[in-house]
Amino acid sequence: MNPMRIAFIGLGQMGTPMVRHLLAADCQVSGFDLSSALIEQLTGPSNFKASKSARDAASGASLCILMLPNSDAVENVLWDADGGIAAGLTPDQTIIDMGSSDPFRSQSNAQRLAAQGVKFVDAPVSGGVKRALDATLSIMIGGNEDTVRQVFPVLELMGKYLTHLGGPGAGHAVKALNNYVSASGLVATCEALTAAKAFGLDPQAVNQVFNTSSGKNNTTEVKVEKFMLSGAYDSGFSLGLMRKDVKTALDFIQNLQTPGVMAAACLEVWADAEQGLPKGADHTAMHQFLQKSE
Ligand code: NAD
């Protein structure tokens, strides 16, 4: 049995498959989520402990991985006066924030944790549920050299393309920018396919041309046929989370006072779609939304 004890907080679409890889590598995992049903579905292996609270999960764990929706949830888990884990952390412990959090807020979390001797690494991921299941995620890492070296073997259990980009917050910065690029490509693709259809063209044929031409992108290659034209709209990444990521990128750009006209327009489209689609809609339903508003 791998002696490493890992707390894992946030057992949603991504967290659950990631925990399964840690369990398969014989790590001892104490898991917690606000949803007890999600904790239950992981119970069974003797190296998984179902925890009653985030504090319970973090107690005695050398690493504490957070796979939460956003920085609000991260700060709640860390600093909440009534149950936040930071109060009980000791200098031998490391927090790894693997969700797509706000880079400036992550820097502040890193500083506050450092003040009590606790280490922090941001290690957000890209690749979606499919690559979480395959353990082939791309992982963008921020943190100091020594700490990153220490946690690297654990991250390798969940991902295949690991890049250490800089100090705390660097991983979250690149993740937000990556998702802005991905989100704008998705909107452009859906707008193009909607116009093509209105012109009487077959969207599938058009997308195939994109895929052998310069319009090719992650949406045309991975999402159009499988999740959009099929009508499935079930990639496992919610539209609300994508809207959050574009907002994080726009805030980041505005904070740095670099050009962001396109990012602002992109956020508007995602916010409109979130308003216009049912709560919890998948991000690929942007296609459905734009077709309806045609
Ligand atoms: P999800 O909504 O499926 O899971 C998040 C989980 O966090 C939920 O189960 C929720 O109950 C839990 N949670 C929220 N607040 C909590 C708290 N205070 N204490 C304990 N648990 C809490 O989301 P997801 O799709 O797994 O995404 C997680 C993170 O990864 C997000 O930041 C997202 O942007 C990012 N991400 C998602 C994907 C994807 O394809 N789904 C891909 C890359 C990155």
Burial 119-130, CB ≥16 within 10 A → b, else e? bbbbbbbbbbbe
Could you tell me the distance, in angstroms and rounded to a whole number, from the CA of residue 54 to the centre of ligand 1?
Answer: 15
Is 178 near ligand 1, meaning CB less than 6 Å away? no
Contact criterion met (CB below 8 Å) for 22 and 158? yes
Centre of ligand 1 from the C-alpha of residue 253, in Å: 24
- Biggest distance spanned by C-alpha atoms of the chain: 64
Neighbours of 34 (CB within 10 A): 14
Is 33's C-beta closer than 6 angstroms to any atom of ligand 1?
A: yes
- The pTM assigned to this predicted structure is 0.97
How far apart, in whole angstroms, are the C-alpha atoms of residue 84 and residue 127?
A: 30
Across 207-229, average pLDDT = 98
Q: Which atom of ligand 1 is nearest to the CA of 14?
A: 26
175 as an active site residue: the answer is yes
Closest CA to ligand 1's atom 12: 10
- What's the mean per-residue pLDDT of the chain? 97
User: 287 CA to middle of ligand 1, Å?
Assistant: 23
Residue 114: CB atoms within 10 Å: 14
Residue 253, helix vs strand vs coil: helix
CA 13 / ligand 1 centre spacing (Å):
7
Mutate to test the pocket of ligand 1, among 52, 180, 237 (most ligand atoms within 8 A of CB): 237
Beta bridge partners of residue 126, listed in sequence order: 138
Contact 93, 61 (CB under 8 A): yes
Reference 284, options 237, 252, 216, 251; nearest CA is 237
Strand partners of residue 142: 122, 166
Cα dihedral angle (64, 164, 22, 244), rounded to 10 degrees?
Answer: 70
128 lines ligand 1 (CB under 6 A): yes
By most ligand atoms within 8 Å of CB, the mutation choice from 11, 33, 140 for ligand 1 is: 33
Q: What local confidence, expressed as pLDDT, does residue 294 receive?
A: 61
- Residue 69: CB within 6 Å of ligand 1? yes
* Residues 189 and 203: beta-carbon distance below 8 Å: no
Does the CB atom of residue 36 touch ligand 1 within 6 A? no
- pLDDT tens-digit map of 28-68: 999 999 999 999 999 999 999 999 999 999 999 999 999 99
* Averaged pLDDT for residues 82-88: 95
In whole angstroms, give the CA distance from residue 48 to residue 22. 10
Q: Is 12 in the pocket of ligand 1 (CB under 6 A)?
A: yes
Segments in the chain forming alpha helices (H)? 15-24, 36-40, 54-58, 71-79, 103-115, 128-134, 145-156, 170-198, 203-211, 218, 239-256, 261-276, 286-292
> Does the CB atom of residue 53 touch ligand 1 within 6 A?
no
| Angle between helix 103-115 and helix 239-256 axes, rounded to 10 deg | 80
Percent of the chain past pLDDT 90, that is, above it, reads 97
pLDDT band at 1 (very low <50, low <70, confident <90, very high): low
pLDDT in tens, 99-151: 999 999 999 999 999 999 999 999 999 999 999 999 999 999 999 999 999 99
